[in-house]
Chains A and B, each alone.
Chain A
């Protein structure tokens, strides 16, 4: 099927404007490269955190803009992956706290609850956890202390123990104890 002229011209316009834009700086390129590498991992972590998708996206935008400023000021480039997760974790906590305050004060409570009920994307369990085993695993996860859940999520997103310790402000020993304890519970999930 032939596309309308306007669409073909838009493609031309897009090519023009993208070339017309100034060359990105090295810092911009580095930020975009890290965004490409980490965006989905960060998004999953923030979703697991309890933030809805649109708020998680906003947090991620904030994180990478902060990273850009961090790089432009010539600050440390060591372990930027851990830096990005740490800032996302802290911003995510702030967002969640603000949301909790909103709900407890009654402001937006109805909207929040309505959204939670109506939006299937934000309530995936009913759709996705059809198998009994998956439901049992979900129950094990929910029974874990929140910090243990965060450790598992960060490890699942590929962070090493030292990085997890930095993100969550824990000792290395606490991270390994947390993961050992949580995985032992998962390995006994079928006994529950």
Chain B
């Protein structure tokens, strides 16, 4: 319906711009616009306002959107866990799927053999399947508030489970640190998905080096130079790459 002065309302002009009118009403509005310079000018003004809002929306929000990779990996891991707990996996064991699975299985066995052959002490980064990372619901203010170190000790029973998960049965004392992938100082959770046996020595990229990175990230977050979610994502995705990035160095610094 047209206003009494015969012109279109703002609401109708916006509906027309968004393609939300019924075909019949849309035809009437288009016919009016063809004849009416005033309404065409107002429509252009409203289209400009849409452009202004989109510009404002992007300019204020896009820089605050961190990369999706970490959150995506976290979601996938959680979905897989829920699905496996509920036994909803595909019936991969059905005979019809065996031929296709045979080649896949051979490839997995071959790769797994190579992986197992790597000395455990040289695994500088965790298995992304066993240790994708897990976080607590914390704010930046929480992680910067105090030490809270007493709550970060991994119980012996949980350490034992981590070693079992990684197939380590004969770990000598002080050889490994059952380490948090995302450190609690950055909101990491005391969850088996966030723990792995990290070697102290025998590699360049050892537990001491990762400790340096954790201190660095904590400092950057608390100084307001780095978003907490980005710090969590970077250390969980590839802590060695994160070390290189945040220390601007391809080799670990000397302790």
Contact = CB atoms under 8 A, between A and B. Distances in A.
Contacts of A64: 75, 79
Contacts of B246: none
Contacts of B115: 9, 12-13, 16
A128 B63 contact: yes
B88 A54 contact: no
Given A6-B204, A137-B52, A160-B20, A128 B59 contact: yes
Interface string B227-247: 111000000001010000000
A19 B103 CA distance: 12
Contacts, number: 238
Contacts of B240: 4, 6-7, 10
A40 B58 CA distance: 11
B72 interface: yes
B139 interface: yes
Looking at chain A's contact residues, is the secondary structure mostly helix, strand, loop, or mixed?
A: helix
A79 interface: no
Interface in B140-168: 140-142, 145
Interface in A83-137: 108, 111-112, 114-115, 118-122, 124-125, 127-129, 134, 137
Interface residues of B, number: 80
B23 to A, nearest CB: 16
Q: Of residues B18, B42, B45, B224, which shows the largest number of chain A Cβ atoms within 10 Å of its Cβ?
A: B224
B11 A177 contact: yes
Measured as residues with beta carbon below 8 angstroms from the partner, the interface class of chain A is 35 or more
A143 to B, nearest CB: 13
B141 A111 contact: yes
Looking at chain B's contact residues, is the secondary structure mostly helix, strand, loop, or mixed?
A: helix
Contacts of B145: 111
A22 interface: yes
Interface string B202-213: 011100000000
Interface string B127-138: 111100000011
Contacts of B48: 187
Contacts of A119: 140, 224, 227
A35 B229 CA distance: 17
A95 B79 CA distance: 23
A177 B10 CA distance: 9
B77 to A, nearest CB: 9
Contact of B123 (A6, A16, A47): A6
Q: Of residues B20, B57, B123, B227, which shows the largest number of chain A Cβ atoms within 10 Å of its Cβ?
A: B57
Given A10-B124, A39-B72, A44 B57 contact: yes
A119 B225 CA distance: 8
Contact of B128 (A17, A22, A44): A17
Interface in B41-83: 42, 45-46, 48-50, 52-57, 59-66, 68, 71-72, 74-76, 78-80, 82-83
Interface of A: 1, 4-7, 9-10, 12-25, 27-28, 31-32, 35-36, 39-40, 43-44, 47-48, 52-55, 57-58, 60-61, 64-65, 68-69, 72, 108, 111-112, 114-115, 118-122, 124-125, 127-129, 134, 137-138, 141, 152-153, 155-156, 160-161, 176-177, 179-187, 189
Q: Which 7 A-B pairs have the closest CB atoms?
A: A111-B141, A180-B11, A186-B49, A17-B129, A6-B124, A187-B49, A16-B111
